[in-house]
Amino acid sequence: MAHPRHLSEPRLLQLLLIGIALAYLGLMIFLPLGAVLVQALQDGSGAWVAAVTEPDALAAVRLTLLVASIAVPLNLVFGVAASWAISKYEFRGKTLLVTLIELPFSVSPVVSGLVFVLLFGAQGWFGEWLASRDIEIIFAVPGLVLATVFVTFPFVARQLIPLMTMQGREEEEAALSLGASGWQTFWRVTLPNIRFGVLYGVLLCNARAMGEFGAVSVVSGHIRGETNTMPLQVEVLYNEYNFVAAFAVASLLAGLALVTLLLKSFLEWRHGDELAARH
């Protein structure tokens, strides 16, 4: 699009700014991503395949998928329910609820993990009660799930609250006046109106659930083949100077990031107006 001349920045400044932005992106994003790939493949693709199919690595992949497959649906349901309540109804304590939903974003992940150790660890509030019933939470899968749920629960709700607030209640009221039940209204009117927002939130939630390190690290106990998720496995391998294996597993995470980015861009490109309601 041609701008009137007096409105456009001088050509040179424009090029300079674009150049700086590209150089910065290259340095901060593409260089590290490239380095991961180069390191991962430095001993050839055979070594890469061996590293990612090694039993502990496979166990880490399985565990990561398991944790995400529990945490993401939970946060999907919670996020939709919370956004529905917040955006469509007036009630006391609404502002507090919104603040609480945002809380995990402002708390350091390490602290989030420690909270669960404090609650469910051997010395924690419920530690004895749990131990006497042989229930393991910390240093076991339930702890990983709890920490991941906590850290990732804002993603879906944050995406949906502004969107649903903007859409208002009119279409739902129209459905009710036409004889639809609350449940029919939700499935046929509310949900279709927010579907791409939901997808977008789930995508970001999933990326974080699979990539989370801090909170999960505190509650995991780092038992290889048992409680190591992919990010933790990368750290363990790296600390053992097993760089090729570490970067091979890391390259899987980088691949996940790229897929997320592609899907995200696609959603933004096709359904930008619906998603633009956020923030």
Partner 1 sequence: MLRGTSASVSVRSVSKRFSAFPALTDVSLDIAAGEFMALLGPSGSGKTTLLRVIAGLEVPDSGHVLFDGRDVTRVPAAERGIGFVFQHYALFGHMTIEQNIAFGLDVMKRRERPPRSQIRERVSELLQLVQLEGYEKRYPNQLSGGQRQRIALARALARRPSILLLDEPFGALDAKVRRELRSALRKIHEEIGLTSIFVTHDHEEAFGLADRVSILGTGRILEVGTPNGLRTSANQVVRSFLD
Residues engaged in binding partner 1 (CB under 8 A): 170-171, 173-181, 184, 188-189, 192-193
| Separation of CA 25 from chain center | 22
d(CA 28, CA 221): 31
Q: Which residue, 193 or 242, is less far from partner 1 as judged by CB?
A: 193
Give 134 or 170: the residue with its C-beta nearer to partner 1: 170
Shorter beta-carbon distance to partner 1: residue 189 or 210 = 189
SS3 track for 115-128: HHHHHHCCCCCCHH
Q: Which residue's CB is nearer to partner 1, number 70 or number 198?
A: 198
115 versus 175: smaller Cβ distance to partner 1:
175
Residue indicated by tokens 């209640």? 169
Cα–Cα distance between 103 and 87 in angstroms, integer? Answer: 18
The CB-of-64 to partner 1 minimum distance in angstroms stands at 35
| Closest CB 215 distance from partner 1, rounded Å | 38
Nearest approach, Cβ of residue 230 and partner 1 (Å): 37
CB of 274 to partner 1, least distance (A): 10
> How near is the Cβ of 168 to partner 1 at its closest, in Å?
9
Q: How many CA atoms lie within 13 A of 247 on its CB side?
A: 20
Residue 55: other Cβ atoms inside 10 A: 9
Q: Find the length of the chain.
A: 279
User: How much of the chain is in helix, strand and coil states, percent to nearest 5?
Assistant: 80, 0, 20
